[in-house]
Amino acid sequence: MATSAAAPTAKSDRHDVLDALRGFALFGIFLANIRVFSGWEYLDAGQRAELSGDGYHLLDFLHLAVIEGKFYTLFSLLFGIGFALQLHRLQGRGAAATRIYLRRTTILLAFGIIHLFVFWVGDILTPYALLGFVLLAIRDWSDRTLLIAAGLALLAPIVGYALFWALALDPSLGLYSLSFAMMPPGAEDPMVRLLLGDWGERLQAAVAAGVLRFGHLFDTWRWPKLFAIMLLGMWAGRRLVAGRLLGETRLLVGILVLGGISGGVAGPILASLDGLGFNRPHSLQGLFAVIAYTFAVIPLGLAYAAGFVLLWRSMSGILAILAAPGRMALTNYLAQTVIGLGVFYGVGLGQAGLWSVQMLLGFACAVYAVQVIFSILWLRHFHYGPMEWAWRALTYGAVPRIRRLEPAPEKPEL
């Protein structure tokens, strides 16, 4: 039996636009990740040209300018909003909000650690869960404090990069060296790592790659960026709880315009600098890239969010198709990892490094289209996705009812 706290979220408590925005972010995340799953990111210019022709230059440029980083911004924003909504909902039900939230976040961390150290070096669940504990500690901060802290956190990578450069500090805090020392012979090469066919070596490489991931989070100053966006999400979530956010047209238009201009100017600059890269020595170009990233990625990601909410007012009937995969975001996100490993890795079909970027984009779109259809069909008969159900059951220590008593209507009420 499901307890009242573990029962499905009431329709009145849901915000369909947020589910749809999460579904949109899920698609963008897969567009970004498919380049790593497939090994495209590890190919040199000659190999890329051989697979995709000279047209790959434009696609790579557009990826850096339009996709890279923008959708983890959306996910981070939604995580912060979700924190505010969840805390409000738990308190409204009279539940022990802090205890339930800590258990929920700890379980997410466990999912993330398994995902990171066994399956996928690009895992986002682990850093989100770790920062989720921080959000709980600062839940009583005022709106003004949240915004000030978010602004300071956004500027921290610029100051931090310059400081580490001046002091000749290792930006990965030594984790890159530790990771490479843990790798199987030859697996320091990421393409070799992808194509490992032995499960034992694959697991050893995956654990080492998990350490590499933490080094990369420090190297690229991802922690303060994620924290800043989540703080903005907390602020936005409070306004949503108060019934103010979705109807604040001037605010949304302002974010869309300012974020679009900032991203539109800084995005091409960032792309021309070839992004932040990996394990690069400190340099003036690197500092410029950090500055460009600050004014390109996060502002444009926020503009995407504001634009989506504004479009929802007139196009909800179309955009609502993304709500179902958004409600099953954890299931779909982990499924994308399984698909990526199964198709491209050596323990699967071993297709890494063999596909053109055009084929990869088509594949990502096709996979996501299947996920949309599957999610819609699944949620007609079940309250949760499989992983969402497991997460909820572990959180509340009860088995929530997963099957609907009656199939849901084909078109959700908007």
pLDDT in tens, 142-153: 999 999 999 999
Q: Could you give the C-alpha distances from 375 to 327, 370, 371, 385, in angstroms and in order? A: 8, 8, 6, 8
Residues 169, 62: Cα–Cα separation, whole Å: 32
Largest CA distance in the chain: 64
Across the chain, mean pLDDT equals 91
Question: What pLDDT is recorded for position 409?
Answer: 60
Radius of gyration of the chain (CA): 21
Helices 199-219 and 222-241 cross at an angle (nearest 10°) of 80
Give the three-class secondary structure for 382: strand
What is the torsional sign of CA 93, 77, 67, 46?
negative
DSSP 277: -
Could you give phi then psi for residue 95, rounded to 5 degrees? Answer: -80, 165
Question: What pLDDT is recorded for position 252?
Answer: 96
Whether residue 309 contacts residue 252, with contact meaning beta carbons closer than 8 Å, is answered with: yes
* pLDDT one-digit tens code per residue, 60-88: 999 988 998 899 999 999 999 999 998 88
- Number of domains into which the chain is organized: 1
Residues 372, 173: Cα–Cα separation, whole Å: 40
Tokens of 97: 């909000």
* pLDDT one-digit tens code per residue, 280-311: 899 999 999 999 999 999 999 999 999 999 99
Q: Is the pLDDT of residue 10 over 60?
A: no
Q: What is the DSSP string of 334-363?
A: HHHHHHHHHHHSTTTT--TT-S-HHHHHHH
- The answer to whether residue 384 sits within a structural domain is no
Q: What is the DSSP string of 110-174?
A: HHHHHIIIII-TT--HHHHHHHHHHHHHTTT--HHHHHHHHHHHHHHHHHHHHHHHHTT--TTTT
Q: pTM of the prediction?
A: 0.91
23 C-beta neighbours (distance < 10 Å), count: 25
Whether residue 358 contacts residue 58, with contact meaning beta carbons closer than 8 Å, is answered with: no
- The answer to whether residue 35 sits within a structural domain is yes
Question: What pLDDT is recorded for position 59?
Answer: 93
- The answer to whether residue 361 sits within a structural domain is no
The domain containing residue 261 runs over which residues? Answer: 19-320+335-355
- The answer to whether residue 362 sits within a structural domain is no
- The answer to whether residue 14 sits within a structural domain is no
* pLDDT one-digit tens code per residue, 93-152: 665 778 888 999 999 999 999 999 999 999 999 999 999 999 999 999 999 999 999 999
- The answer to whether residue 10 sits within a structural domain is no
Q: Could you give the C-alpha distances from 286 to 66, 186, 320, in angstroms and in order? A: 20, 28, 40
